[in-house]
Structure 1
Amino acid sequence: MRWVPYVIVSVILALLCGYAWRGRQYATLGWWLGWWLLATLTWTPITVTTGSVAGITTHWWANGIWVIRPLQRASIDASFWFNIMMTIPQGWLWHWRWPRWNWPIWLLAGVLTGLALEGGQALGNWLFGLGRWVDINDIITNALGVILGYGLAKFWQNKWRRDSSCS
């Protein structure tokens, strides 16, 4: 029962990927594949702990553990950095998909990505007992990863343009 949210999301994303592939919309295909990877990392009922949870203030609500106090010393562990790393590719894909956005939109895209992932975990906990932590730090780190990925893609694009125009 705990796998139901992930299976539903995977089927929907597989259909969206199929439509993008058939339409030769490769940026869109990459976009949906990126979301499938993020769903795999965040909406499966498998929890991997990369540090100690001792010292983190948590709350039990809606069948799940919530961390609503950001940046507690104990919460800045390997998973903190992994959350940034896992969303950098999606930020790159945001840029590939929508290259003309300015920085406030990057910030909004990052926050919405974090909210979507943590909101999915909260909903999965509430409806299916997913067993995932809903953590404000994950929203912050996911947003930061998207912003970094978008910024890196923009930097790379500008550098590539400069280098190709000098040739």
Structure 2
Amino acid sequence: MLFKRDYFTLNEIALMSLLGGLVFVMLMALRMPLHIPGHTGIFMVIPVIIGVAIIQKPGSGTYIGLVAGVLLSFFGVSALHVFDVFQYTALGMVTDIIGYSFRYRMDLTPVSVLAGIAGNLAKMLVNFAVNLAIGIPLVVVIIEAGISSVSHTIFGALGGLISAYLIARLIRTGVITRNAD
């Protein structure tokens, strides 16, 4: 498959950068001490899913996740802040794969919910891989993964549900146009 020389236009790069920054701002502004693993997934996956739905090109979610991860790594929000770039890039890559697989029909509720769940779980898996790499015992990581995978799934699904609603509204108002496939 041949790509044009300018794969992303300047407007698309600006939009993806703004959405990556929005992930960062939402995580900073909406800090809630709920102590439930994955609770940030309810609002963290929304800009990534919306960005993939608007741009409709492979790599858009990865770019959004990379921008968010670089910002979060630079400002050190979480305990493993240096590795945030890997977590959010994984979230974007999985969202890209889901979007490409379903022809970027993120306005459909099952597709957005699946993208939210898969993105939030990918972020969780990278987090646990980092925990293993820094020397946390395997038994502890497996128990944590089993427990927190349920909450990551629930919060990712809720974020995907909100995304589907927002994308459908943007399509109805004419802000987003769908490809005539």
TM-score range, shorter chain: 0.3 to 0.5
Larger Rg: 1
1 or 2, which has the higher helix percentage? 2
Q: Which has the higher contact order (CA 8 A, sep 6+)?
A: 1
1 or 2, which has the higher strand percentage? 1
Scaled by the length of structure 2, the TM-score of the pair is: 0.44
